[in-house]
Amino acid sequence: MTTIGEFELIERWFARAPRRAALGVGDDCALIAPAPGQQLAVSTDLLVEGRHFLATVSPDRLGHKALAVNLSDLAACGAAPLAYTLALALPQVDERFLDGFARGLHALADRHRIDLVGGDTTRGPLAIAITVFGEVPAGAALRRSGARPGHTVWVSGTLGDARLALEGFRGNVDLDGGVLQRVRRAMEIPEPRVGLGLALRGIASSAVDVSDGFVGDLGHVLKASSVGATVDVDALPRSGDLGSRPVGEQRLCTLAGGDDYELVFTASPDAALRVREAAAQAGVAVTAVGRIDSERGLRLIDGAGRAVDEAYAAFDHFRS
């Protein structure tokens, strides 16, 4: 515990000269100006210890993740990040924690050239709320409602490692040290697919980022688009670490894992080549995993075309 006050804390760890915003930390409001013809894309995520992150996470990884999950929402909309705000509740002024947290946060922000333009700081149980602001040409945002029958369902990167790590920490699965360290990175330092989201503008018909699990998040697209889908669970991309686990575990982690921060998106089959070019440009792998149907609901099949009947519900914060 120290005697550092609120304003000194903001000054020391969070106030930095804005590079792009017209007015940053220190005034009653920040001022940001999207370019002419652009819409402002806005998203907020709240992270609470024990629910969204474990006390074992290092402060710099926590700083990274708090911003990454928000940038992932901009990515899903095809928006270019501009700026963000940070609301922080801290149980005490822990300099070591704040040094690490600010380092991880600012490092990711620097990579995307975005400014921390304001926020609020209070004493309380550790909680972090970030709001990101992005810009997207008017009418060009990727939305959940554009999937049409016949469109292909695509997934970026790999699914399930974050959930495998969580089950490792919970003691439900036994992972050897090297595996745990690798899958733990997926859980603690996810990479928001901002470049892919931008590259998919005008190509993808719908998109969502996977925060609660593939089945649940694809379900949001299906509902918003009034369609259904058939997905090959054996085609869902997964790491070698997850791929060497028992099949049931692989299915749970890829289908209902959560915390993946990959993009699930749809595109017309005619656009397959353009999807692959966009992914190559963004440096991210993409995999076709299924097809949109006019019949509502999600049908899971295996690689041989047999129905997979296990009920893999998405992780729901209020049910678990």
- Nearest CB to Mg ion, comparing residues 120 and 316: 120
Counting Cα atoms < 13 Å in the Cβ hemisphere of 241 gives 24
Among 27, 270, 277, 310, binds ligand ADP (CB under 6 A): 27
108 with 68: CB under 8 angstroms? yes
**CB within 8 Å of 25: residues ≥ 6 apart:** 10, 14, 15, 16, 18, 116, 117, 118, 119
Burial of 244 (0-12, 13-18, 19+ CB in 10 A): exposed
Which SS3 state, helix, strand or coil, does residue 278 take?
helix
Q: Which pair of structure tokens corresponds to residue 157? A: 């990167």
Among 11, 120, 310, 316, binds Mg ion (CB under 5 A): 120
- Nearest approach in angstroms of CB 121 to Mg ion is 8
Residue 119 sits in the site that holds ligand ADP (CB under 6 A): yes
Residue 6 sits in the site that holds Mg ion (CB under 5 A): no
Of the candidate spans 71-79, 116-124, 244-252, 292-300, the one that interacts with Mg ion by CB under 5 A turns out to be: 116-124
- Nearest CB to Mg ion, comparing residues 77 and 90: 90
- Nearest CB to ligand ADP, comparing residues 8 and 270: 8
- Nearest CB to ligand ADP, comparing residues 31 and 138: 31
Among 66, 77, 116, 278, binds ligand ADP (CB under 6 A): 116
Of the candidate spans 21-29, 38-46, 49-57, 304-312, the one that interacts with ligand ADP by CB under 6 A turns out to be: 21-29
136 with 79: CB under 8 angstroms? yes
Task: Supply φ then ψ for residue 176, to 5 degrees.
Answer: -75, 160
Residue ranges that bind ligand ADP, judged by CB under 6 A: 10, 14, 25-28, 86, 88, 116, 118-121
